[in-house]
Amino acid sequence: MGVKSRTRAEKRKEIKKSMAIASLNNVPTSPRKMRLVADLVRGKRVELALNILKTNPKHPAIRLHKLLLSAIANWQGKNEGLRIEESDLFVKEIQVDGGRILKRIQPAPQGRAHRIRKRSNHVTIIVDSFNKPEPRTSESMAEVQAEVKVATEKKAPKATTKAAPKTKAPKASAKTKAAPKVKSAAAPKKGTNLKSNNKKG
């Protein structure tokens, strides 16, 4: 296997992991008869498709009904946190391919034999949702709570550093400046009293 084909195969596997696929192989009806029923369901919502297949009188509708239920169950298994009612499922793809052919002989007049071809088909259904809400599990909620705690811890020290310089510096400087003014105001009063005493003497 070459490098290109290997990378393509790996990409297909990764895509299929997220897709809800159900397949049915070697169905003993011709592909043409199966496609007549499959065309009625292609692109329809799941509820409508199930009703169409349940009420359709053709024989392949019974097998397609079971296959569609299997595809819905596969989607639910891959999206455990989501509800079917909210996700709005629809039939994204439905393919009918030719399967093996059993060759039989029918006796004909005058010693001849007519060939009978008993055909079969392979059906694959892919289900997807119109609305894709993110599943909320216990692990995701724990991660959200951890992120909130980290954000609050980062914000707390910033508030304390901003408030500290405002309270300390200006109040202390105002007190020290007020003290010498009082002393300077008291000094001239004492001087005037001394001068008055000297004049009397």
Average pLDDT over residues 8-25: 86
Q: How far apart are CA 169 and CA 153, in angstroms?
A: 27
Is residue 46 within 8 A of residue 68, CB to CB? The reply is yes
Summarised one tens digit per residue, pLDDT across range 96-120 is 999 999 999 999 999 999 999 999 9
pLDDT (0 to 100) of residue 10: 86
Q: What is the pLDDT of residue 159?
A: 47
Structure tokens belonging to residue 130: 């119109």
**Per-residue confidence at 133, pLDDT binned at 50, 70, 90?**
low
DSSP 28: S
C-alpha–C-alpha distance, residues 65 and 123, integer Å: 12
| CATH tag, 3-132 | 3.90.470.10
Residue with tokens 């001239």: 188
Per-residue pLDDT band for 73 (boundaries 50, 70, 90) equals: very high
Burial of 119 (C-beta count, 10 Å sphere; 0-12/13-18/19+): middle
HEC string for 91-160 = EEEEEEEECCCEEEEEECHHHCEEEEEECCEEEEEEEEECCCCCCCCHHHHHHHHHHHHHHHHHHHHHHH
pLDDT tens digits, 37-61: 999 999 999 999 999 999 999 999 9
The dihedral built from the CA positions of residue 123, 21, 91 and 59, taken in this order, carries a sign that is positive
What is the domain partition of the chain in residue ranges? 3-132, 136-169
